[in-house]
Structure 1
Amino acid sequence: MAQAQVVVIGGGIAGLAAAAFLSGAAGGPARARVTLLEASERLGGKLSGGEVGGVRVDLGAESMLARRPEAVELARAVGLGAELEPPTTAKAAIWTRGALRPLPGGQVMGVPGDLEALAKSGVLTAEGLERARHEGSGEGVADDVAIGRYVADRLGREVVDRLVEPLLGGVYAGHADEISLRAAVPQLLAIARGGGSLVEGVHELATRPQTVSTPVFQGLRGGIGTLPGAVAAACADAGVELRTRTAVEELRRTADGWRVVTGDGATLHADAVVLAVPAPAAARLLRTDVPGAAAELDGVEYAGMALVTLAFRRADLPEPPAGSGFLVPPVDGRRIKASTFSSNKWGWLERSAPDTFLLRTSLGRLHEEQALDLSDEELVAQSLADLGEAIGLTARPYDTAVTRWRAGLPQYPVGHLDRVARIRAAAGRVGGLALCGAAYDGVGIPACIASARTAVDALDKVLTPLTGENVTERTMGA
């Protein structure tokens, strides 16, 4: 019997990972013949690289969580194992109350587990620290709660405003009072459900010995933006047909599979489809045949952000900034929400351009995307103004790049995981359909790759019999 034919719609890292798992490009047997369709001119989605100041840098995500195995394993499977490199420094700061203050140790996503370290950091005012020392009591959380509201009830508003908010903002570009504890920081949910001391629970979690001594984060020499190309090359070698500039206009269920209509008027027939596109695009394609899933997908909100990358000549910096960068609490009223000192953070970058110092800033968050409408020059000027106040930077960059990620980060409000379960249940009832990407199980690279694995596994009933026919294509109306 012929192998099943699967069409993967979307060529970000989740779609590429799904194609790799299906085709055997990531190891293991080939489970299907795969065609991947991507609307834009390039593969990789939010994993993107480019040159700034003559140096190759990441213009999107720059690191991947290594304590989860999925991203590191995929990198190794496609030949990038020797290129893995952890950050040179992870010493980060909080720019708050007019100064750079060390990110206190013993915290989990900003929730403190060591009040002495918190006091020494100077992040909180005396009043905020005193409130944190008098932890509020409360009943255990029954199911889910917004992390900001929960922490504020237990430890005070200032812990949320100056610690939890900037750390969550760096991941989701959202607001702590809306983000689900269960979805965003599940390791804290057991503490919340128990109803005991939050500080003691976080301390136990933060000091728990690791079974394997591995870096928390990993990067790739040349940038994380090299990962999609390596996965795509492995997929092509495994027989995957990769098509860019191919938008999908219509997706319809048929008696024996799916009909996929592209923007150029072609029709593909497949046994199964993996939708690896953002929620709005998935909702549009499922509106007719899976309206329940489409309605749920319509409710997924997205935040946008801009990244400003600045290249300086080291000779113009008498004292380059120390550490890996800093986060900015919104309560402080600054324009940027974070800055990464890329040349400090990544040894490969410093080695490749020893005479250049690269850093980047991020601007914009949920409901504050007006920053993305500013000109490149305005975003650079705002970044330089804040950097001048934060680290005393007076030098001018010799090159800059502005990257806008409009609607780039899905939000995970209270009830998000229940919504995801309903989406998957609706897709499962139709058969031969699975979804993956940042809108479901996590916005990080490992989570997106894991969602691709989940999607492929959900197609077992279609893949196991291997009963599909070769994909056929014709011009509409022919």
Structure 2
Amino acid sequence: MREVQGQVVVIGAGIAGLAAAHRLLEHGARVSVLEASGRVGGKLLPGEVAGARVDLGAESMLARRPEAVALARAVGLADRLGPPATATASLWTRGALRPFPKGHVMGVPGTASALAGVVSEEGLARIERDAELPRTEVGDDVAVGEFVAERLGREVVDRLLEPMLGGVYAGDAYRISMRSAVPQLFQVARTHTSLTAGVRELQAKAAAAQQTGPVFMGIRGGIGTLPLAVADSVRARGGEILTRTPVTELRRTPEGGWQVRSGEREWLADAVVLAAPAPAAARLLRAENPGAAAELDGVEYASMALVTLAYRRSGTALPDGSGFLVPPVDGRTIKASTFSSQKWGWIADENPDLVVLRTSVGRYGETEILQRDDAELVDVSRQDLKAATGLGATPVATRVTRWDDGLPQYPVGHHARVARVREHIARLPGLAVCGAPYDGVGIPACIASAYAAVDRIRGDLRGVQELTAHPVQSLHGGAGE
């Protein structure tokens, strides 16, 4: 058995694990990152179709949270950052592509008029009744779909909220926690009798703050290049990153450190950052912390697939805008489509003879569609695209990317589960968890989670071994996004 000495072991090389390693190295730690798969990046995956560079996973990051953009700049990507060429999206509902309503928070409107053409006359009248209804108590948490349906009617949930949340969580709005997934609405629900009045207040505050700049940001070459750049920076600073190295055992040592084992290899560490999906984290914690493991065993995941298609530009016409969302209530197979060549100027610049777009299929509870083979997923995507946009051309290339159990679900009570996990973890000095199962599935939220984990590790080790002579300023920005 070969023993590898290391101060901090990071388990998992998704963006959270890589961000944790990068932050630890900034403060003088010796770091080994162990990744079970054959690559780094997790759900951020660069690829190509018909020779065009594209993202095969997440394609943008929230720019009004600082963590992701700041990390991209720190690893040398500043000159490749850029906003979408267009942020105008549509909603494919009631048999037509309709402009996505403005003046909403995650699909929840401030006025009924914002949803004209999307919601029926009866539905609009139901929204107007919100101001007349007594307060709806939300307690410690509530399903966002359940609450909004009670205040504004099911049409708002089914036509607006479901496609918005489906795009982020691949989940079911009637199960998703409002406190964890849409915390600004949860605060409104706790402090306002009228939901629409609370949304208008949120909008007024945003306007008064004069928020400028893009909401989202991309990277020339794809968001999937971010983890590659972070990994390069980690290695340049002396960090070790090993792929195809699944951790098989995590044990506390008699001296108070950690023993990390992968097959016949062993690392002795003062601390461990566990940045793995919930099932893997539960498996590794079962021996030393069965309470945390039991909680993580309860985290459910949704699967989905992305279908990327490339067409010859000649003879291919798409509607204006960045793409469209699809309410499940309309009975379509795809849940969204992104017109990648129109949304991202760099794709159009690099591939003037191609039109690239993608669709997404699958959400929580939908299993049948994802059991179909790749060719069938391409066929149903093409059928829906033709019905929505009139696009009947034959693609020159297609690519299906499956994300099995790719997105953790945040049902009612998720925040309490996360609190219990961290309460259990706090009993084991030198151990921290981070990533999508905890405080948000978006890229900035995962990075913030990683920075919070590093802060915890540094606090635990301060009396054992100084990581740096200077204090750390945490970039942890809070839960969710």
Which of the five TM-score ranges fits, normalised by the shorter chain? over 0.9
Per the alignment, residue 399 of structure 1 pairs with 397
**Contact 1:141 1:194 (8 Å CA) reproduced:** no
Per the alignment, residue 52 of structure 2 pairs with 55
Separation in structure 1 between the aligned mates of residue 226 and residue 203 of structure 2, nearest angstrom: 30
Give 1:211 shift. Answer: 4.5
Picking from 353, 365, 371, the partner of 1:373 is 371
Separation in structure 2 between the aligned mates of residue 361 and residue 146 of structure 1, nearest angstrom: 27
**Contact 2:295 2:420 (8 Å CA) reproduced:** yes
Three-state SS of the structure 2 residue aligned to 1:459 is: helix
Give 1:355 shift. Answer: 1.2
Per the alignment, residue 380 of structure 2 pairs with 382
Tell whether 2:34 aligns with 1:37: yes
CA RMSD of aligned residues (A): 1.5
Give 1:139 shift. Answer: 3.5
Separation in structure 1 between the aligned mates of residue 462 and residue 281 of structure 2, nearest angstrom: 25
Per the alignment, residue 238 of structure 1 pairs with 237
Per the alignment, residue 277 of structure 1 pairs with 276
**Contact 1:303 1:369 (8 Å CA) reproduced:** no
Separation in structure 2 between the aligned mates of residue 197 and residue 106 of structure 1, nearest angstrom: 16
Three-state SS of the structure 1 residue aligned to 2:197 is: helix
Three-state SS of the structure 2 residue aligned to 1:308 is: strand
Per the alignment, residue 90 of structure 2 pairs with 93
Picking from 161, 168, 182, the partner of 1:185 is 182
CA-to-aligned-CA distance 1:142-168 (integer Å, 9 cap, x gap): 321100000000000111000001100
**Contact 2:6 2:32 (8 Å CA) reproduced:** no
What are the within-5 Å matches in structure 2 for residues 61-460 of structure 1? 61-119=58-116, 122-135=117-130, 136-207=133-204, 208-209=206-207, 210-256=209-255, 257-263=257-263, 265-317=264-316, 319-460=317-458
**Contact 1:58 1:223 (8 Å CA) reproduced:** yes
**Contact 2:248 2:261 (8 Å CA) reproduced:** yes
Three-state SS of the structure 1 residue aligned to 2:357 is: strand
CA-to-aligned-CA distance 1:180-225 (integer Å, 9 cap, x gap): 1110010111210024211121122124223441210000011001
CA-to-aligned-CA distance 1:98-132 (integer Å, 9 cap, x gap): 1111111001111011322211xx11112212211
**Contact 2:192 2:198 (8 Å CA) reproduced:** no
Separation in structure 1 between the aligned mates of residue 441 and residue 46 of structure 2, nearest angstrom: 19
Separation in structure 2 between the aligned mates of residue 40 and residue 423 of structure 1, nearest angstrom: 25
**Contact 2:113 2:124 (8 Å CA) reproduced:** no
Partner AA of 1:258 in structure 2:
W
Three-state SS of the structure 2 residue aligned to 1:274 is: strand
Three-state SS of the structure 2 residue aligned to 1:306 is: strand
**Contact 1:105 1:114 (8 Å CA) reproduced:** no
Structure 2: runs of 5+ lacking an equivalent: 468-481
Three-state SS of the structure 2 residue aligned to 1:234 is: helix
Partner AA of 1:10 in structure 2:
G
Partner AA of 1:137 in structure 2:
P
Per the alignment, residue 472 of structure 1 pairs with none
Three-state SS of the structure 2 residue aligned to 1:337 is: strand
Separation in structure 1 between the aligned mates of residue 210 and residue 390 of structure 2, nearest angstrom: 42
Picking from 22, 25, 33, the partner of 1:23 is 25
Partner AA of 1:8 in structure 2:
V
Three-state SS of the structure 1 residue aligned to 2:213 is: coil
**Contact 2:6 2:267 (8 Å CA) reproduced:** no
Partner AA of 2:411 in structure 1:
P
Query: How many residues align structurally?
Result: 458
Give 1:134 shift. Answer: 1.4
Separation in structure 2 between the aligned mates of residue 69 and residue 348 of structure 1, nearest angstrom: 23
Three-state SS of the structure 2 residue aligned to 1:130 is: helix
Separation in structure 2 between the aligned mates of residue 83 and residue 463 of structure 1, nearest angstrom: 37
Separation in structure 2 between the aligned mates of residue 21 and residue 38 of structure 1, nearest angstrom: 18
**Contact 1:78 1:230 (8 Å CA) reproduced:** yes
Moved more, 87-96 or 60-69: 87-96
Three-state SS of the structure 2 residue aligned to 1:88 is: coil
Partner AA of 2:251 in structure 1:
R
CA-to-aligned-CA distance 1:283-339 (integer Å, 9 cap, x gap): 00000110000000001000000000000111031x322111111111111000000
Partner AA of 1:373 in structure 2:
Q
Give 1:4 shift. Answer: 7.4
Partner AA of 1:131 in structure 2:
R
Per the alignment, residue 476 of structure 2 pairs with none
Per the alignment, residue 10 of structure 1 pairs with 12
Structure 1: runs of 5+ lacking an equivalent: 470-478
Separation in structure 1 between the aligned mates of residue 223 and residue 111 of structure 2, nearest angstrom: 33
Give 1:267 shift. Answer: 1.1
CA separation of 1:458/1:211 partners in 2, compared to 1, >3 Å: closer, same or farther? farther
Separation in structure 1 between the aligned mates of residue 49 and residue 187 of structure 2, nearest angstrom: 44
Partner AA of 2:58 in structure 1:
A
Give 1:359 shift. Answer: 0.5
CA separation of 1:468/1:206 partners in 2, compared to 1, >3 Å: closer, same or farther? closer
Separation in structure 2 between the aligned mates of residue 379 and residue 441 of structure 1, nearest angstrom: 32
Separation in structure 1 between the aligned mates of residue 465 and residue 445 of structure 2, nearest angstrom: 31
CA separation of 1:466/1:74 partners in 2, compared to 1, >3 Å: closer, same or farther? farther
Identity of aligned residues (%): 63
CA-to-aligned-CA distance 1:241-282 (integer Å, 9 cap, x gap): 11011010111111221111103x111111110010000000
Three-state SS of the structure 1 residue aligned to 2:221 is: coil
Separation in structure 2 between the aligned mates of residue 389 and residue 270 of structure 1, nearest angstrom: 57
Moved more, 183-192 or 3-12: 3-12
Three-state SS of the structure 2 residue aligned to 1:166 is: helix
Three-state SS of the structure 1 residue aligned to 2:435 is: coil
Length-normalised TM-score, structure 1? 0.94
CA-to-aligned-CA distance 1:336-359 (integer Å, 9 cap, x gap): 000000111001111111111110
Partner AA of 1:19 in structure 2:
A
